Amino acid sequence: MSPYFRRNFINCLSGFKSLNLVGTADAEGQTNLAPFSQVFHVGASPALLGLLVRPDSVPRHTLANIEATGFYTLNHVRADFVKEAHQTSARYAISEFEACGLTAEFRNGFPAPFVGEAWVQMGLRFAERHHLAINGTILVIGYIERVQIPADCINPDGFIDLEKAGSLTSAGLDAYYEAKKVGRYAYAKPDQPVSEIE
Amino acid sequence: MSPYFRRNFINCLSGFKSLNLVGTADAEGQTNLAPFSQVFHVGASPALLGLLVRPDSVPRHTLANIEATGFYTLNHVRADFVKEAHQTSARYAISEFEACGLTAEFRNGFPAPFVGEAWVQMGLRFAERHHLAINGTILVIGYIERVQIPADCINPDGFIDLEKAGSLTSAGLDAYYEAKKVGRYAYAKPDQPVSEIE
């Protein structure tokens, strides 16, 4: 396997991934925006998300800013700005918001910028950092402090209809997908067949 | 927020997730199978995947078996066995393979069972374990030692066509989706517009 083949191949193996733009600002208020496909649920109470950062990758400004300010935003990517979102991975000298035509929104005193175009936006506060010795990857865990989602994308039971919200999923290093529901199933019990949830 | 609402809500916030069945066996060869949506890429060289395990959740047999034998399999879920895959999350006294009608395949001396119905199958060897003090979650990192994928789902550049392979993505605790490609884009550079990869 060539290194290029290998990178594409291995990056696809985990399966489909989340797709978030991470918004930060440095101590002087200079904004930064970068795409991450390694954001995952860590816990519901307290509400925690994990973010994996490769120390040798472009988004290291993201890590520096999170450590400097303690805050960052996560913004789900939709198809109508997926090209701009992809382009934020380029190595810009200026803010990726400005370079890629996305809107930096500072709201209600939250210290990191939200992506105005995103329908699902979260504000996080840094909680904990782990160094994965095996390859130098950094795991950042943060508390979810703010959430903004269109009300009609939230079901009465708390389930968020990410398909309706237009959130994309990603694969490998560079592929983006829309999701189409197959089914939602009730909590599984040994003595009961699988039943559909509306 | 009620605890039920909160659990549904917070579990959706990260965005779409991968969906793997994790196959293990204990020291006596008793098999176990459980669905995980918290599998993610950690590194390409060496090839590493991470797996988050909630210590209070059903799949703790998975963790015990990984620690006992050092091996496990990851198997992408397809729509044609998604109900069986969901059902493996129930608390069975017997093997979930048997209880849910999925095929445990032991191949070429690999100590953990693959899911015969899966098109994307991986065999992993335990590498490293991290305890996330903040809420007791366990992060298991493993080396990818075996991969089996239909050849016509692998592009010449190494990219795996997970849509063609029928791999599903998941959201929240109980929702499953098919993916439909929006686009694949070339490595982003500051002075170039976004360009599509075939």
pLDDT digits (tens, 9 = 90+) for A132-173: 999 999 999 999 999 999 999 999 999 999 999 999 999 999
Could you report the per-residue pLDDT of B101-137, keeping only the tens digit for each?
999 999 999 999 999 999 999 999 999 999 999 999 9
Q: Is residue B187 part of a domain?
A: no
- Measured at the alpha carbon of residue B124, what is the angle toward residues A58 and B48, in degrees to the nearest 5? 10
Mutation for testing the B interface, residue in A1, A16, A119 having most B CBs under 10 Å: A16
Residue B46 covered by a domain: yes
CA distance readout (Å), A123 to A91, A142, A146, A174? 24, 9, 5, 25
Burial degree of A12 (CB within 10 A; 0-12, 13-18, 19+): buried
Touching check for A78 and chain B: CB below 8 Å? Answer: no
Best of B80, B147, B162 to mutate (most A CBs within 10 Å, chain A): B162
Mean pLDDT across the stretch A11-31?
97
Chain B positions in Cβ-Cβ contact with residue A47 (cut-off 8 Å): 6, 10, 13
Q: Please tell me the least confidently modeled range out of A30-34, A54-58, B21-25, B157-161.
A: A54-58
Nearest CA in chain A to B128: A134
* B182-193: average pLDDT: 96
CA distance B160 to chain A (A): 6
Interchain contact A143–B (C-beta under 8 A): no
Listed in sequence order, the residues at least 6 apart from A139 whose beta carbon sits closer than 8 Å to its beta carbon are A50, A51, A52, A53, A129, A130, A131, A132, B130, B139
CB contact under 8 A, B10 and A47: yes
Question: How would you classify the pairing of strands B121-132 and B137-148?
Answer: antiparallel
Q: Tell me the whole-structure pTM to 2 decimals.
A: 0.96
Q: How many domains does chain A have?
A: 1
- Give me the domain span that covers residue A32: 3-178
Which string of DSSP letters, residue by residue, matches A105-123? E--TT-SS-EETT-SSEEE
Strand ranges in B38-135 using DSSP code E only, listed in sequence order: 39-44, 47-53, 71-76, 104-105, 114-115, 121-132
In a domain, B188, yes or no: no
A79 touches chain B (CB under 8 A): yes
Task: Place B60 in a pLDDT band, splitting at 50, 70 and 90.
Answer: confident
Does residue A197 form part of some domain? no
Q: Looking at residue A57, what is its pLDDT?
A: 60
For position B53, which CATH number holds?
2.30.110.10
| ipTM of the complex, rounded to two decimals | 0.96
Of residues B181, B183, B190, nearest to A92 (C-beta): B190
Backbone angles phi, psi at B122, to 5 degrees: -135, 145
Q: Do A122 and B41 touch (CB under 8 A)?
A: no
